[in-house]
């Protein structure tokens, strides 16, 4: 039986997580479970073997990106947005504006022929998601700077 695409995506995300933790042998030293069990969690044809939540919690902070958590969020219809302290720092405002501009430019370029084609969609989606994350961090920075203020309601300036 062929694995549904979402399961394949979760296995690939797990493989990325294990790879970034020094492959199964090193990852096994960073969490519970043995090398062989962690290796099996990355294989699409091992549909009964999945990485455990506590292993994800142990390994994702050591990776460049929360691969499995992001894949789970996407499978549930959500986009994962990092907490603002993960993005804070000088230049955050400029970065959020740049990310938004890049997303708009990617959409405009892809729509030049009137529609976004299948081959263009992954790039456009990546740019949109990067903009969402950057703009969320900027919004949270404003909320922290002015905790007594709420966002203006729709239709009001």
pLDDT tens per residue across span 8-35? 999 999 999 999 999 999 999 999 989 9
pLDDT computed for residue 79 by the predictor: 80
pLDDT computed for residue 55 by the predictor: 97
| Predicted confidence band of residue 152 (pLDDT cuts 50, 70, 90) | confident
| Predicted confidence band of residue 2 (pLDDT cuts 50, 70, 90) | low
DSSP state string for 29-63:
HHSSS-HHHHHHTT-TT-TT----HHHHHHHGGGS
| Predicted confidence band of residue 137 (pLDDT cuts 50, 70, 90) | confident
Residues contacting residue 54 through CB under 8 Å, at least 6 positions apart: 31, 32
pLDDT computed for residue 84 by the predictor: 65
Give the tokens for residue 77: 């219809």
pLDDT computed for residue 125 by the predictor: 93
Per the model's pLDDT, the better-predicted residue between 1 and 152 turns out to be 152
HEC assignment per residue over 58-121? HHHHHCCCCHHHHHHHHHCCCCCCCCHHHCCCCCHHHHHHHHHHHHHHHHHHHHHHCCCCCCCH
- Could you read off the pLDDT of 93-107 as tens digits, one per residue? 788 889 899 999 999
Tokens 């529609």: give the residue: 115
């Amino acid at each position: 039986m062929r694995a549904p695409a979402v399961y394949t995506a979760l296995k690939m995300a797990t493989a990325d997580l294990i790879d970034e933790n020094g492959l199964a042998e090193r990852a096994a030293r960073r969490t519970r479970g043995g090398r062989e069990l962690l290796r099996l969690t990355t294989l699409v044809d091992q549909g009964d073997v999945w990485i455990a939540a506590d292993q994800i919690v142990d390994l994702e902070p050591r990776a460049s990106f929360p691969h499995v958590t992001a894949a789970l969020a996407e499978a549930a219809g959500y986009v994962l947005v990092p907490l603002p302290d993960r993005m804070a720092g000088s230049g955050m405002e400029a970065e959020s504006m740049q990310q938004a501009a890049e997303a708009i430019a990617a959409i405009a370029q892809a729509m030049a022929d009137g529609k976004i084609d299948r081959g263009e969609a992954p790039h456009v989606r990546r740019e949109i998601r990067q903009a969402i994350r950057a703009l969320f961090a900027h919004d949270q920075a404003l909320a922290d700077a002015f905790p007594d203020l709420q966002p203006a309601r729709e239709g009001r300036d």
